Structure 1
Amino acid sequence: MLFRRSAKPLLGLDITTSSVKLIELSKSGETYRVEAFAAEATPLNAVNEKAIVDAQVVGEAVRRAVKRSGARSRDAAVAISGDAAITKIIQLPASFSESELEGQVALQADQYIPFPMEEVSYDFEVVGPTEHDPDMLDVLLVATRTENVEQRQAAVEAAGLKAVIVDVEAFTVENACQLLRHQMPEEGMGHNIAVMDFGASSTTFSVLRDLRVTYTRDFAFGGQQLTEEIMRTYGLTLEEAGRAKKEGGLPSNYEPEILEPFIDDMTQQVSRSLQFFLASGTNREQPEQILICGGCANIPGVADVIGSRVGIPTQVGNPLGMMKISSRARSQGVMKDATALLTACGLALRSFD
């Protein structure tokens, strides 16, 4: 399902521990337009570290989001986390027909997948000729445990939708980064750009060169930690803490005692990710720009703090920055959530493959 082509609009559906975000895009020429959007809180404990624990409950949240958004499409694209997927470039003869490629991939997949093949879903796509051998093709093999796919299919079907594409978050982020080109020097061509997508419970750090991901790393850190600290300090429920974090109205000690230490933690995570990247291979060069996305990117002034401390120009990434917005999506507050829509947008872009 990963590399399947879509003939009609898809709902980009990003399911996380804290929320279900849904977006529907249309395209006219080179311009995208947000037709529909909604975000719905994920019921407590229904998603645990990107694994869907209760597909029925998640499906109900998706159903509510679909209804509020007014989206017309009933086909969806969803993603599994990068750490749940195995990716491998294999080389095969360029002379092979499509059916021969399929057969050879099936034979070779067993070598690279550390699970019994009957428990695995996999797909492949031809990347192009092998760099130093034009008689061979680079073929991308992607695999995951079938249960990871089935969890998402079950949640989508419980909402009355159909999961047409199951993608991998790392590919989704790469796809979505074309929507950040307007913020990059020379639209990202010839430059190393880092994208830090802060989620609720996990964060993805990616480095792009010519808009292609050359490095990616997922790690446990996210806005939920700030919400839980607010909850503990002020004796609020998780829901009340989440609302207070977004809407304000917390006591005067909130910024110096809770928010500023959290921004310090965010900066440390960026710094550590840059160190891991530079140590991950030879000839690694420091990124020339950092774009931060996710709910945490909305903290006032956070990009300036990170940029000054790590010494790299830093901006808040906005994938909707060059899009038109329908009045229906605007009324659902899509612009408030723009920084957190990288994955959902990357999935919705699969409509235009």
Structure 2
Amino acid sequence: MALFGKPAKQSYLGIDIGAGGIKVVELMNEKGRAKLLTYGFAEHPVAKVGESLLDKPDAAAALLREICKRAKTSTVKVVSGLPVSSVFSSVVTVPAATGKALSAAVELQAKKLIPMPLEEMILETTPIPDAGGEAKKANYSRMLLTGASKSLVKKYIDVFKLAGLQLLSLETEAFALIRSLIGRDRANVMIIDMGALRTNIVVVQNGIPFLSRSLNLGGLALSRAMSETMRVPLSQAEQMKIDAQAVAEIMPDVGLPKMFDSALTMLLNEIRYSSNLYAGQNETPRQIEKIILTGGAALFPRLADAIGATIGIKTYVGDPWARVVYPLDLRPVLDQIGARFSVAVGLAMRDIE
């Protein structure tokens, strides 16, 4: 049975397989709202971060079974997510059409943009709402084109099959993040998801991931900076990073320690570049209205404040539990782990909302 509440007929597992480990969340549909039943996770040892669990299907499946057993999950129905860095994503403009004519136009654009044979890809298109009526007047449509290699998709299918789980859907992590952190908000929002190895930047317009970029920078870079500056083992620096008291001892009166300047500069440059790129992709320039920070590194003290102060846009750490019903006495624990579970929560919500 589930840890919180009774087992449900309509419950789903959101499973996020990332460089930092595996996160599992089980949500049920309670009168149209997502209710937390249970959750579980297993972190990848620092020394093994970068080794893909998907390349070791038997080990990954065994780990998944163990997580589900410990969490006492009550369903085998799974929604999982494809990493932003492994998915092709682009907004394409095609002549206004329907049916086969539209499919042909999209395929033509895909051949121009995707550096792989289309027969090796799984493609999906999502219409982009024409809020200002500009596209309709000009007789064209804008579509979000996403694609993933069939070989990558097969790896996910194999792992879940070995784990005895039923994979209902694979979607991009971007949509999961939008679901858990933005909901129905139609503001122009930038989500910054800082994982162990990579940082994904997603610019959301009208609920659609209009722009997605992946940066080779993650929380491990902060740990390495601490390790080198303080001359401590990487594993110790990683532990210090999540220890509030240890972090307080290295923090200056304002801002972030100088040891993080290189990583922060790299991140800020990418934020500025993504903002400018997004503004230039619209006929009427649009500006980012707010930035939501998530991922394991998002909890580092003052990081959100430092980004907001430098970029000049309100920045805060997102709360993936804001649209989920859960026991109130769990709030302190959920606050601690929330930033790491944004993708998993959004995945589990897919067939509930």
Give the TM-score range, shorter chain: 0.7 to 0.9
Q: How do residues 202-217 of structure 1 correspond to structure 2 at under 5 angstroms?
A: 202-217=198-213
Question: Which residue is equivalent to 1:321?
Answer: 322
Q: How many correspondences in the alignment? A: 331
Q: What is the CA deviation profile of residues 254-297 of structure 1, one whole-angstrom value per residue up to 9, with x for unaligned ones?
A: 446xx723554564345313321343216544423222111222
Determine if the alignment matches structure 1 residue 246 to structure 2 residue 248.
Answer: no
Question: Which residue is equivalent to 2:334?
Answer: 334
The worse-fitting range, judged by mean Cα deviation, of 61-70 and 273-282 is 273-282
Against the structure 1 CA distance between its residues 245 and 174, is the aligned structure 2 distance closer, same or farther, given a 3 Å change threshold? same
Q: What is the CA deviation profile of residues 64-119 of structure 1, one whole-angstrom value per residue up to 9, with x for unaligned ones?
A: 2212222212122222223422345455733x3xxx58985897587354433443
CA RMSD in angstroms, aligned pairs only: 3.7
Question: Which residue is equivalent to 1:221?
Answer: 217
Q: How far apart, CA to CA, are the structure 2 residues paired with 1:276 and 1:110?
A: 24
Q: How far apart, CA to CA, are the structure 2 residues paired with 1:63 and 1:208?
A: 34
Determine if the alignment matches structure 1 residue 261 to structure 2 residue 294.
Answer: no
What SS does the corresponding residue of 2:175 show, helix, strand or coil?
Answer: helix
Q: What is the CA-CA distance between 1:146 and the residue it aligns to?
A: 1.2
Q: How far apart, CA to CA, are the structure 2 residues paired with 1:10 and 1:284?
A: 39
| Structure 1, unpaired ranges of 5+ | 1-6, 182-187
The worse-fitting range, judged by mean Cα deviation, of 246-255 and 18-27 is 246-255
Letter of the structure 1 residue corresponding to residue 195 of structure 2? G
Q: How far apart, CA to CA, are the structure 1 residues paired with 2:286 and 2:315?
A: 17
Against the structure 1 CA distance between its residues 228 and 47, is the aligned structure 2 distance closer, same or farther, given a 3 Å change threshold? closer
Question: Which residue is equivalent to 2:288?
Answer: 287
Q: Contact 1:92/1:139 (CA < 8 Å) preserved in 2? A: no
Determine if the alignment matches structure 1 residue 19 to structure 2 residue 21.
Answer: yes
Question: Which residue is equivalent to 2:160?
Answer: 156
TM-score of the pair, normalised by structure 1: 0.77
Against the structure 1 CA distance between its residues 210 and 138, is the aligned structure 2 distance closer, same or farther, given a 3 Å change threshold? closer
The worse-fitting range, judged by mean Cα deviation, of 220-229 and 264-273 is 264-273
Determine if the alignment matches structure 1 residue 271 to structure 2 residue 273.
Answer: no
Determine if the alignment matches structure 1 residue 61 to structure 2 residue 63.
Answer: yes
Q: How do residues 1-353 of structure 1 correspond to structure 2 at under 5 angstroms?
A: 8-29=10-31, 31-42=33-44, 48=50, 52-87=54-89, 89=92, 90=94, 93-94=97-98, 96=99, 111-112=111-112, 113-124=114-125, 131-132=135-136, 140-179=144-183, 188-189=185-186, 191-231=187-227, 233-236=230-233, 238=235, 240-248=236-244, 250=246, 254-255=250-251, 260-261=257-258, 263-265=260-262, 267-280=264-277, 281=280, 283-326=284-327, 330=330, 333-352=333-352
TM-score of the pair, normalised by structure 2: 0.77
What SS does the corresponding residue of 1:153 show, helix, strand or coil?
Answer: helix
Q: How far apart, CA to CA, are the structure 1 residues paired with 2:45 and 2:31?
A: 39
Q: How far apart, CA to CA, are the structure 2 residues paired with 1:253 and 1:103?
A: 58
Q: What is the CA-CA distance between 1:236 and the residue it aligns to?
A: 3.3
Question: Which residue is equivalent to 1:184?
Answer: none
Q: What is the CA-CA distance between 1:320 and the residue it aligns to?
A: 0.9
Q: How far apart, CA to CA, are the structure 2 residues paired with 1:122 and 1:251?
A: 44
Q: How far apart, CA to CA, are the structure 2 residues paired with 1:53 and 1:29?
A: 39
Q: What is the CA deviation profile of residues 212-255 of structure 1, one whole-angstrom value per residue up to 9, with x for unaligned ones?
A: 333322101111122334455454363x5433322356498644
What SS does the corresponding residue of 2:335 show, helix, strand or coil?
Answer: coil
Against the structure 1 CA distance between its residues 263 and 297, is the aligned structure 2 distance closer, same or farther, given a 3 Å change threshold? farther
Q: How far apart, CA to CA, are the structure 2 residues paired with 1:25 and 1:101?
A: 40
Q: How far apart, CA to CA, are the structure 1 residues paired with 2:21 and 2:115?
A: 32
Q: What is the CA deviation profile of residues 116-163 of structure 1, one whole-angstrom value per residue up to 9, with x for unaligned ones?
A: 344333344566799327998766543222111112222223332232
Q: What is the CA-CA distance between 1:21 and the residue it aligns to?
A: 0.9
Q: How far apart, CA to CA, are the structure 2 residues paired with 1:49 and 1:275?
A: 30
Letter of the structure 1 residue corresponding to residue 29 of structure 2? K
Q: Contact 2:193/2:293 (CA < 8 Å) preserved in 1? A: yes
Q: How far apart, CA to CA, are the structure 2 residues paired with 1:109 and 1:45?
A: 42
Q: How far apart, CA to CA, are the structure 1 residues paired with 2:352 and 2:292?
A: 25
| Aligned-pair identity (%) | 20
Question: Which residue is equivalent to 1:4?
Answer: none
